[in-house]
RNA sequence: GUGGGUGUAGCUCAGCUGGUAGAGCACCGGGUUGUGAUCCCGGUUGUCGCGGGUUCGAGCCCCGUCACUCACCCCA
């Protein structure tokens, strides 16, 4: 074969659960009033370096950038949505602004199980208010997204990352603590860049050194504490279970206060199926007005992996309800017109194309999943009837052509 | 960017100490001059990833290369 899809990309082919999973993940948010938006797939590079954080891995080594144009394929969805909100002044209307989106994201990473260079996410954002009850709603909608698809093994990790009032002091305290540890050079460099990120190091020997590390949740300012407690109350009211995750750190710099991640243990090394949090400073970081916000993004590919791991099947796309099998030239001409009429009337219909034998055509009818087969030969047309066969029971009756359409509605 | 694994039919794979390719599924046709999902019979599909080397002979051994894959890192 001459070409193949580029590294880290894949084709969605017939039979894929992609559409059902994408729409299923967003269904609870639709019911909660989150309106659909779609921002461009590429934006000014600076939107991401300023929004996501210039020191993050996502920005420093994973972006697909067109330097000569100053544009970058979006590595995540939030920055673009917030940019669109600010650009169009949506925050001047009724608050909160509740939005949902879906689409491809791009990161130039080495592919791996559940990790692609072009991957698909769905997401929601709620902007304009800091009410902790809204945080709880947002988190609950992600939890519902997974359970609504039939998943039972998704765990919610949740914490508070503090805010500009309390995080700088904590960050300094943690930095001082880390400076007293015997760490390798790479980890030390990370500590200098963002000490918080050292906390979720996977290596057991590093975790052992961190048992006595100070935790953000113990250093929250009164406002952050009150907000966090409000979120926990809201989650309790909504019946959403979670695991406190005081060491949870996310790779995007804009998160503050409520921060969470959804993980699944059946995916291989990449266990996160979704994540999000509050990003009250993001709008200002990209030159907008003060505009608090909270949101999440869920990975479609990883959700599919989770469904496979749990053995949960997703309903495939519906096929035709009626399959028409013509025998002979006159019948073929009649069938083409009849299929058109059925479709116009709103009935999903397909036709045996290609002049194959009756046996092959019936096989095609069976595979289409249609409930009804309409078999018409020239001798039926002479009698003004068609054979209507119930493919479930196998029963077949001759129906006058004048009554056929009505019977199939 | 760094490591490990794997490349044989559309898919999943077998192929003995080197002797010039196979199964299942899928697909197509027939068994039934007008009836599917079962059953029976038959058939199509391969530069054995690519290049070089060793050998009388390479799918198998050696070298290189590319691709895929898993993991580190990071994240959805």
Quick check: A202 CB within 7 A of strand B?
A: yes
Same domain, A375 and A275: no
Long-range contacts of A363-371 (CB under 8 A, 24+ apart): A364/A323, A365/A323, A365/A325, A365/A391, A366/A391, A368/A319, A368/A320, A368/A323, A369/A318, A369/A319, A369/A320, A370/A319, A370/A320, A370/A321, A370/A322, A370/A323, A371/A321, A371/A322
Q: Is the pLDDT of residue A235 over 60?
A: yes
- CA A304, A307, A313, A314 dihedral sign is negative
Quick check: A26 CB within 7 A of strand B?
A: no
- Domain boundaries, position A380: 322-408
Same domain, A231 and A301: yes
Among A310, A339, A369, the domain-final residue is: A310
In a domain, A177, yes or no: no
Reference A63, options A103, A106, A118; nearest CA is A106
- Chain A residues 100-139 with Cβ under 7 Å of strand B are 107, 109-116, 119, 121
Same domain, A118 and A22: yes
Same domain, A300 and A337: no
- The per-residue pLDDT for range A339-360, each reduced to its tens digit, is 999 999 999 999 998 877 888 8
Q: What is the pLDDT of residue A1?
A: 45
Residue with the bigger pLDDT between A185 and A154: it is A154
- Which nucleotide is the nearest neighbour of A300, by CA and C1'? B76
Measure, in angstroms, how far nucleotide B30 C1' is from residue A356 CA. 14
Q: What is the pLDDT of residue A295?
A: 97
Same domain, A332 and A278: no
Average pLDDT estimate for A216-240: 96
> Strand B: which positions are within 7 A of a protein CB?
1-3, 27-30, 32, 34-37, 67-76
Measure, in angstroms, how far nucleotide B25 C1' is from residue A223 CA. 63
Same domain, A326 and A260: no
Q: Is the pLDDT of residue A2 over 70?
A: no
- Which nucleotide is the nearest neighbour of A106, by CA and C1'? B76
Quick check: A3 CB within 7 A of strand B?
A: no
- Which nucleotide is the nearest neighbour of A9, by CA and C1'? B68
- Which nucleotide is the nearest neighbour of A119, by CA and C1'? B76
Average pLDDT estimate for A142-150: 96
* Domain of residue A229, CATH code: 3.30.930.10
In a domain, A97, yes or no: yes
Average pLDDT estimate for A323-337: 92
- Chain A residues 59-88 with Cβ under 7 Å of strand B are 62, 76
Same domain, A235 and A338: no
In a domain, A196, yes or no: no
In a domain, A188, yes or no: no
Same domain, A39 and A109: yes
| Res. A268 pLDDT band, cuts 50 70 90 | confident
Name the helix (H) or strand (E) containing A353.
none
Average pLDDT estimate for A295-299: 97
Quick check: A201 CB within 7 A of strand B?
A: yes
CA distance A195 to A178: 8
């Amino acid at each position: 074969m001459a070409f193949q899809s580029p590294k880290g990309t894949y084709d969605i082919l017939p039979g894929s659960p992609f559409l059902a999973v994408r729409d299923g993940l967003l269904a609870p948010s639709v019911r909660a009033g989150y309106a659909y938006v779609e921002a461009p797939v590429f934006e000014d590079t600076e939107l991401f370096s300023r929004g996501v954080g210039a020191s993050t891995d996502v920005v420093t080594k994973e972006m697909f950038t067109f330097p000569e144009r100053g544009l970058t394929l979006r590595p995540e969805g939030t920055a673009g949505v917030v940019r669109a909100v600010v650009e169009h002044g949506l925050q001047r209307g009724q608050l909160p602004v509740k939005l949902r989106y879906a689409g491809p994201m791009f990161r130039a990473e080495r592919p791996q199980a559940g990790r692609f260079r072009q991957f698909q996410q769905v997401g929601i954002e709620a902007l304009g208010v800091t009410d902790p009850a809204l945080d709880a709603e947002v988190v609950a909608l992600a939890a519902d997204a997974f359970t609504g698809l039939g998943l039972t093994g998704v765990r919610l990790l949740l914490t508070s990352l503090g805010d500009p009032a309390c995080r700088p002091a904590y960050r300094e305290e943690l930095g001082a603590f880390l400076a007293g540890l015997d760490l390798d050079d790479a980890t030390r460099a990370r500590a200098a860049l963002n000490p918080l990120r050292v906390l979720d190091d996977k290596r057991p020997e590093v975790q052992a050194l961190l048992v006595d590390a100070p935790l953000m949740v113990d250093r929250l300012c009164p406002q952050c504490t009150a907000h966090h407690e409000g979120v926990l109350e809201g989650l309790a009211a909504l019946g959403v279970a979670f695991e406190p995750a005081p060491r949870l750190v996310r790779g995007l710099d804009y998160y503050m206060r409520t921060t969470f991640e959804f993980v699944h243990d059946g995916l291989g090394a990449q266990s996160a199926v979704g994540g999000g949090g509050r990003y009250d400073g993001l709008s200002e970081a990209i030159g907008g007005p003060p505009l608090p916000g909270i949101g999440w993004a869920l990975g479609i590919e990883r959700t599919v992996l989770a469904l496979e791991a749990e053995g949960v099947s997703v309903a495939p796309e519906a096929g035709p309800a009626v399959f028409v099998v013509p025998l002979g030239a006159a019948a073929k001409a009649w069938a083409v017109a009849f299929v058109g009429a059925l479709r116009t009337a709103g009935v999903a219909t397909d036709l045996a194309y290609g002049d194959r034998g009756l046996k092959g055509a019936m096989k095609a009818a069976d595979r289409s999943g249609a409930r009804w087969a309409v078999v018409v030969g020239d001798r039926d047309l002479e009698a003004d009837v068609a054979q209507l066969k119930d493919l479930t029971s196998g029963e077949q009756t001759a129906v006058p052509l004048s009554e056929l359409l009505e019977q199939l509605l």
